[in-house]
Amino acid sequence: MSSRETILQRLRNRTGGELTAPECDFSVLKRPDWSTAERIELFEKTIESVHGEVHRCTEDTWIGRLAELLATRGARNLLVPKEHEIGLSLRSAVERESLPSLLIYDEPIESWQTALFNDVDAGITSTRGGIAETGSLILWPNADEPRLMSLVPPVHVAVLYAKEIYTTFHEAMLAQNWAAGMPTNALLVSGPSKTADIEQTLAYGVHGPKELIVLIIE
Q: What percentage of the chain reaches a pLDDT higher than 90?
A: 69
pLDDT 10s digits, 99-157: 999 999 888 889 999 999 999 999 999 999 999 999 999 999 999 999 999 999 999 99
**Whether pLDDT at 94 is above 80:** no
Question: What is this structure's pTM?
Answer: 0.86
Confidence of residue 212 (pLDDT cuts 50, 70, 90): very high
What does the radius of gyration of the chain's CA atoms come to, in whole angstroms? 22
Asked if 216 and 45 count as a contact pair (C-beta separation under 8 A), the reply is no
- Residue with more model confidence, 64 or 97: 64
